[in-house]
Amino acid sequence: MKTRITELLQIEYPIIQGGMAWVAEHNLAAAVSNAGGLGIIGAANAPAEWVRQEIHKAREITDRPIGVNVMLLSPYADEVAQVLVEENIPVITTGAGNPGKYMDMWKRNGSKVIPVVASVALARMMEKGGADAVIAEGTESGGHIGASTTMTLVPQVVDAVKIPVIAAGGIGDGRGMAAAFMLGADAVQMGTRFVVAKESICHQNYKDRIIKAKDIDSAVTGRTHGHPVRQLRNQMTKEYLQKEKDGVPFEELELLTVGALRNAVVEGDVKNGTVMAGQIAGMIKKEQTCKEMIEELMSETTELLQKAGTRYE
Ligand code: TUI
């Protein structure tokens, strides 16, 4: 399947793995790239030297391109941005902010820069600033989210910019992927489904929570202080949401989440940890290798697109 994104990024399939904190490390990224998608190392809040090591380790497992996601709220964002230049990273995605100040240095070095946007305004600004594509991420996603749904955001971004658009948020199978193409996207980015990949180093308790999740099992914390985060409901979200209702100050709410994502992903504490996952968790029922996932996604998607083609001919 050829799209503007497979051409731009020199990949076989239009599937990009999300840059999930703690989960998107070298094993997962290399497995996705080896399976023909684009694997991403999530720099998240990690120091720049960790990111460099992960890039080196991924390169031992795959010769194919891998990308890095820069989480712009990270205290290490400046140093990470520099490491990506030194390591000649071919594809850089960004999240949780405006990457404008890094754009020139990355573009001068030949990287393809693909910011996540949650609005048409930011998509337009990124195109003007030289972005090669944008990821339009709907509120169905796990982690830090914007307000618009994928269904409404993707076509509006597609209409607003000429660069390719990658759809993200709530996509977990061939139906979602085919729908994204119908909305005008040239590729999809998926996170939650890859969390349960066999190559994902995420703790089994976390994977099991996703596999057992029902459609309405996610909750959004942090709406009151402007940093909404989607995660699966547990003891921690219950306390957090009650405290938000009670008007507890941000600094006290923060105490509930310090180290909580690591506790869930690495230690398997799915009761008091942060179990970030998208609304699609309810549909994810099995662990597979990245290759199995990507092959299944591609056969479902192409079949649906062919069917749609005949129906509307
Ligand atoms: O970044 C993500 N997902 C994330 S980041 C993360 S770590 C974190 N944890 C707690 C609080 C904050 C961060 C966990 N999950 N996805 C990409 C994404 N970017 N979603 C939404 C946005 C976004 C939102 C507004 C991007 C830009 C934006 O506008 C910023 C501006 O300055 O205009």
Q: How far is CA 51 from the centre of its chain?
A: 17
CA atoms within 13 A on the CB side of 21: 24
What pLDDT was estimated at residue 312?
45
Q: 141-190: per-residue pLDDT in tens? A: 999 999 999 999 999 999 999 999 999 999 999 999 999 999 999 999 99
Ligand 1 neighbour 124 (Cβ under 6 A):
no
191: domain range? 4-201+284-306
CA-based nearest residue to 227, from 120, 146, 115: 146
Ligand 1 neighbour 58 (Cβ under 6 A):
no
Ligand 1 neighbour 143 (Cβ under 6 A):
yes
Domain count along the chain: 2
Average of per-residue pLDDT across 220-233: 96
Ligand 1 neighbour 278 (Cβ under 6 A):
no
Distance 274 CA to ligand 1 centre (A): 16
| 132 and 248 assigned to the same domain | no
Residue 206 lies in a domain: no
What pLDDT was estimated at residue 251?
92
What pLDDT was estimated at residue 57?
98
What pLDDT was estimated at residue 18?
98
| 121 and 88 assigned to the same domain | yes
Residue 43 lies in a domain: yes
Ligand 1 neighbour 228 (Cβ under 6 A):
no
| 147 and 104 assigned to the same domain | yes
| 27 and 129 assigned to the same domain | yes
Distance 116 CA to ligand 1 centre (A): 8
What pLDDT was estimated at residue 309?
83
Q: 48-57: per-residue pLDDT in tens? A: 999 999 999 9
| 109 and 183 assigned to the same domain | yes
Q: What angle do CA 149, 152, 155 make, to 5 degrees?
A: 130
| 180 and 220 assigned to the same domain | no
**pLDDT level of residue 69 (50, 70, 90 thresholds):** very high
**What's the rounded Cα separation, in Å, for the pair 229 and 278?**
10
Q: 29-47: per-residue pLDDT in tens? A: 999 999 999 999 999 999 9
Distance 300 CA to ligand 1 centre (A): 30
Q: 103-142: per-residue pLDDT in tens? A: 999 999 999 999 999 999 999 999 999 999 999 999 999 9
Average of per-residue pLDDT across 9-16: 98
**pTM above the 0.85 mark?**
yes
Protein residue with least CA distance to atom 9, ligand 1 = 144
| 96 and 51 assigned to the same domain | yes
Average of per-residue pLDDT across 193-212: 98
Give the CATH number for residue 99: 3.20.20.70
Q: 260-312: per-residue pLDDT in tens? A: 999 999 999 999 999 999 999 999 999 999 999 999 999 999 999 999 885 54
As a whole number, the mean pLDDT across the chain is 97
**pLDDT level of residue 1 (50, 70, 90 thresholds):** confident
| 167 and 145 assigned to the same domain | yes
What pLDDT was estimated at residue 310?
58
- Stretch (H or E) spanning 195: helix 192-195
What pLDDT was estimated at residue 313?
41
**What's the rounded Cα separation, in Å, for the pair 79 and 273?**
28
Distance 127 CA to ligand 1 centre (A): 18
Is residue 221 classed as helix, strand or coil in its secondary structure?
strand
Distance 241 CA to ligand 1 centre (A): 20
**pLDDT level of residue 239 (50, 70, 90 thresholds):** very high
| 86 and 226 assigned to the same domain | no
| 36 and 100 assigned to the same domain | yes
Ligand 1 neighbour 129 (Cβ under 6 A):
no
